[in-house]
Structure 1
Amino acid sequence: MKKCLIVYFSQGGTTKKTGEAIAAGFQAEGWATDLVNLNANLNPPSSFDEYDIIGFGAPTYFYKPPFNVTEYIEKLPDLNGKPFFVYILFGTYKGDAGNFIRKTLTEKNGRETGYLTTRGADMFLGYLREGSLFSPDRPNEEDLSIAEKFGKGLANGNYNSSIPKDQAPAFLNKLERLFLTPYLFNHIYTKFFKVNSDLCISCGICKKVCPTCNIEMDEDKKPVWGKDCIGCINCEMKCPTEAITSPFAWPLSKIFLKMNVYKASHDPEIVTVPVKQKNGKLIRL
């Protein structure tokens, strides 16, 4: 029996759901599939010899893959001609998030066979606090049906070896990305994650939801951030007392956030619903 491995990173569940739909396509054609969520600093295996094809899925963070996905891809062994496919989810604009993964896998002697992009609900706190949820309820049934057909096609050998690269984001978004690098997050920005001791109830939710186990609790059971932050600010978003603040509250950050929200909310191709983010909960208005 042929076998497929799909490695994905998913926090809200949309990337996982899409990966499961792709896997269902393979399974419908008689393949065995393994799905692995790339969290808690998962290290790649020494080889992928037991698999006939491997897939990688990721959301788009700041128009590029999350830092932990980038790090995982860079650590992969030589693929020795192994077929691979990539799928990317995005809430507003995908930018060239898929290009890095595809390029790196090709440089590791992988053979690209397919590439899929689809929308997913944009749960970035910066946008939610500006009152906008982009691409709500995506991926929807149509998206998942397309993903399943994508998997079926790959299982049947319908490979595409000449897939065009994604276009780079606009100039201002490229400028934004210059301020959002792993080095800056882990050597500078994490020093500015703050917790209001008067508001903190020591519930530990921030530690629990951190995808890279970057948060520890001090002797007073207050969060302390390490040097493995990917900038998801899930800790801040899920805090039930809004005791946490991050550098995304800085005036410069807010300029970019407001610019991005304005552009996306006026784009007829992007569905936007008004929301309110309060005490760790999202309320649609």
Structure 2
Amino acid sequence: MLVICPSCGKRISDRVAACPFCQVTIASDAAAPIPSAPPARIAPPGPPLPRPSFDLPPPPKKTSPLVYVAIGCGLVLALGAVAVGTSVYYLKRKAAEIQAQGTNPELRNTKAVEVLKADRLPDGYYPVAVVSIPGMDMVVLGDQPPRPDGRAAHIRERGYMYMRLFREPENMRALRAFVEGRTDDPSALRANRVDVATTAILRRGSLRLGGGNVLYCAQRGEMSASGGRQKGLQTVTLTDCPDHNMRMGIWFGPDPDPARPPAELNLTGTVADENELRGFLSHFKVCGPAS
């Protein structure tokens, strides 16, 4: 075993007579033995570790497709109820607005100027009816001032009907063909709910005005207006604008000589006179934006 040299403190064998380092003679009982390290303590075994489980958790319970169908139906019904409620509210508001115009000539005039995009209405013309809803504007002008109660008076001889639609419907092609002169069949007017009967075509043409191209067809005939059927002259117009909205107008007035044949009729100063038509339509921004 190893012992410690009492002279130099080195570790030496207990069997040597002298320290190999300092040469001091070592007595058998002089060197102190090196204390041995205490035996290592071994901790008692702990509780066994849990055995890992490789079982997968149960799959989540699937929601029935009927639940999603029910949710979707409920959402559609809710949106439908909102849409119906909004539509009813809007229609009620528009009905109230039109009713208010019925006895308020100033309100009718303001609305007509707004729809026609005019600074003011032409002299001698008064608003009879004005309707403006998304996708459609309509104005009727007459030649009589409002009655004492504020309501519009019946048209006697001269008036103007204007309509704007968001897009030109397919069934308007026949009307366009009639105005352009590709057909003389007047049934195109009635087919498009334009209540004008044609007796004779007087002239057709076009004019540039306000950024648009105005096509017109002037005729002798009969039409429905406020107060009943009226015979005279009518000029049907279609205005082509960059926004592709359909703008149709009918300017109507008296026939200067109903007994005279169409070829001999003097149209100067009438609604069939192109110069008069240009002057009348110049009051409006014919290609103005929708109301």
Give the TM-score range, shorter chain.
Answer: under 0.3
- Higher relative contact order by CA 8 Å / sep ≥ 6: 1 or 2? 1
Calculate the TM-score normalised by the size of structure 2: 0.19
User: Which of 1 and 2 has greater Rg?
Assistant: 2
